[in-house]
Amino acid sequence: MTPSSGSGRVSGLDVARRPERKPGRLGMALVRASAFLTVAVLVFIIGYVLVRGARVLTPRFLLGFPEKMGREGGIYPSIVGTFVLTSLSVAIAAPLGIGTAVFLTEYTSEGLFSRIVRFGTESLAGIPSIIFGLFGFLFFVIRLGMGWSILSGSLTLAAMMLPTIVRTSEESLRSVPDIYRETAYALGASRWQTVTSVVLPSAVPGIVTGVILAMGRAVGETAAVIFTAGSSLRLPGSIFDPVRTLPVHFYILAREGISLENAYGTAAVLIIAVLLVDFAAYYTLHRVSKRRSVTGR
Amino acid sequence: MSRKEKFAEIALTVVGLTSVAVLALIIFFIFKEGSPALAHVGLGRFVGGTRWSPGKGQFGILPMIVGSFFVTFGALLTGVPLGLGCALYLSEFAPRKTAAVLKPLVEILAGIPSVVFGFIGLTVIVPLIRDHLGGPGFSVLASAIVLGVMILPTMVSISYDALRAVPQVYREGMLAVGANQWQTVTSVVLPAARPGILAAGILSMGRAVGETMAVIMVAGNATIIPVSFLDPVRTLTSNIALEMGYATGLHRQALFATGIVLFVIIGALNILARAFIRSR
């Protein structure tokens, strides 16, 4: 403890007698201001994009095909592409991520092996998306010969969202009280039975929330997808076809100055998608934790 | 142990190794593809070279290293105080109901795609800088502001967790001896949460170094070492993303080598962050 904290205590006693001069007035004001500035930035971003993009959001734009590189027409193939790519990456990453979390919480005690697994997961979480993009391009697109395709993009995204799913699942598994497990064991259940019939069901809200949040990040990801899923404007026929996801389409429209108007429209769709996903995550956690307050976090 | 039990255990062990395997694959492929360029150009001339013109066979990434450094430093200058202030408010001062509303809002900020941040930077911040401060507008400053906002969610949520982890007894003790709330926070809560807050700063730094698309849209991407905060700048990540689409041969390998440098920087930051979190 520094000497200054001692003197702070003395002046604190001092102040208690003279409440008209409160120390930290300025500090408190700054702290409050930074919180409201943060929220203001958020509101501005969402408002700006939605207001500017709203004009473009017609059924023709949402369900139409792009014409002239996206200068005219709609974004239907990108909406479909984003949806399929995101769903597939969740389908790949969720079982692996939840499995890893079950392994870490239920099947090992803290030891060298679990430390290695945790190190791998944490390191993966810090890797920038462009590196995932490079890796996906080298490994899935070229080495495994999948080409620019939904499959390459999904596998890359799945690798990227894995740490998020592991961490949130692990947190919710750990929040299941041990008494549940002990009771199950006392009734003669095996470890696997305990996990599947007692632990996992209690942890479902937290796990689902984590998966949904990971999905939200995947929807907006650009750098990792542009080199693995390609930028074709055609409607994909199978998971082996390339797609141009919404963020990639938006990036190309905005950066190459193709159509600012359609860029705003695409951004608005993207923001709405992200907000819906966030709302779904919040709703899942909130509603279920209310219903089951014993395990609620 | 039944066969089903045994199978479940083995399967989960294998699944648990996925992330380690993915990490190993990433390291292997990036290094394998990038190291020929490092060997060909020479590590010193690659990292220390000031000229990047692939057409002439010049591969020096010092301008991008400096660029990444400036941009990241600028982002920390804007994002860290703001984020820490926000975390302090949520954790220490906000009425419970206000905090319950604000916390999810900050999490929404984390979900906004980076291209959208870049676009707002492009259409709002770049013209503002150009009109009021001069220069092309595409600059270190524009990137620092955009990235500063982008690291807010990381900064806020990790510092918030660190602040919440400070035992309530500490606060009560201070209040009991007559300190007011602000004194309690500055002299007890903040010092107790310091390792976690430092970790939040370092992880935010990792995010800023690694961000790509938003920076490309506002940085100007010139391959020169910036001398003013109004100069255009190119970061390591932008260098990869801008040229990957058409690069071949040694040029492409040099981009992967840029990836190696980025990887090493991020790795060092993560190890540092982990050390701080452990020391708590």
Which residue in chain A has the smallest CA separation from B261?
A131
Query: Chain A contact for B147, CB < 8 A?
Result: no
Angle value at C-alpha B166, between A122 and B87, nearest 5 degrees: 70
Q: What is chain B's length?
A: 280
Give every CB contact of residue B28 below 8 A, 6+ residues apart in sequence: none
Question: Where residue A18 falls among pLDDT bands split at 50, 70, 90?
Answer: very low
pLDDT at A6: 40
Residue A284, in any domain of the structure: yes
Look up the domain containing A163 and give its range: 59-291
Q: What's residue A4's pLDDT? A: 42
Instruction: Look at B25 and A219 and tell me if their CB atoms are within 8 Å.
Output: no
- Residue B97 sits in which domain range? 63-278
* Average pLDDT for chain A: 86
Residue from A96, A121, A127 whose CB has the most chain B CBs within 10 Å, to mutate: A127
CA separation, residue A287 to residues A279, A281, A291, A296, B103 (Å): 12, 10, 6, 10, 17
pLDDT at residue A150, rounded to an integer: 94
Q: Which of A17-31, B1-15, B21-35, B54-68 has the lowest mean pLDDT?
A: A17-31
Q: How many structural domains comprise chain B? A: 1
Q: Are A130 and B237 in contact (CB under 8 A)?
A: yes
Residue A26 domain flag = no
**Residue A247 belongs to some domain of the structure:** yes
> Distance (Å, rounded) from C-alpha A191 to C-alpha A184?
9
Q: Which residue has the higher pLDDT, A112 or B22?
A: B22
- Residue type, position B73, single letter: F
Residue B19 lies in a domain: no
**What tokens does A138 get?**
């080298």
State which residue of chain A sits closest to B252, comparing Cα positions: A134
In a domain, residue A46? The reply is: no
Asked if the structure places residue A9 within a domain, the reply is no
Cα B216 to the chain's mean position, in Å? 15
Query: CATH code at A264?
Result: 1.10.3720.10
Mutate to test the interface with B, among A38, A49, A114, A259 (most CBs of B within 10 A): A38
What is the average pLDDT value for chain B, to the nearest integer? 92
**Cβ separation of B23 and A123 shorter than 8 Å?**
yes
Model confidence pLDDT, tens digit, residues B156-210: 999 999 999 999 999 999 999 988 889 999 999 999 999 899 989 998 999 999 9
pLDDT in tens, B59-74: 999 999 999 999 999 9
How would you classify the pairing of strands A66-67 and B58-59? unpaired
Give the separation between CA B23 and CA B61, rounded to whole angstroms: 25
The whole-number average pLDDT for the span A74-94 is 93
**CB A23 to CB B88 under 8 A?**
no
Chain B CB contacts of A131 under 8 Å are: 26, 30, 210, 259, 262-263, 266
B51 located within any domain: no
The answer as to whether A33 is a domain residue is no
B50 CB contacts (<8 Å, ≥6 apart)?
Answer: B60, B62, B63, B225
Is there a domain that residue B231 lies in? yes
Complex prediction ipTM: 0.91
Does the residue B18 lie in any domain? no
CATH number of the domain where residue B120 is located: 1.10.3720.10
The DSSP result for B215-261, as a single string, is HHHHHB--SS--SSTTS-B--HHHHHHHHTTT--HHHHHHHHHHHHH
> What tens digit of pLDDT does each residue of B73-130 get?
999 999 999 999 999 999 999 998 999 889 888 888 988 999 999 999 999 999 999 9
Instruction: Output the pLDDT for position B280.
Output: 53
* % chain A with pLDDT above 90: 57
> Is B124 part of a structural domain of the chain?
yes
| Inter-residue contact B83 to B72 (CB < 8 Å) | no
Name the domain count of chain A. Answer: 1
Exposure letters B125-139 (e unless 16+ CB within 10 A, then b) = bbeebbeeeebebbb
Tokens representing B15?
């699944």
Classify residue A42: in a domain, yes or no: no
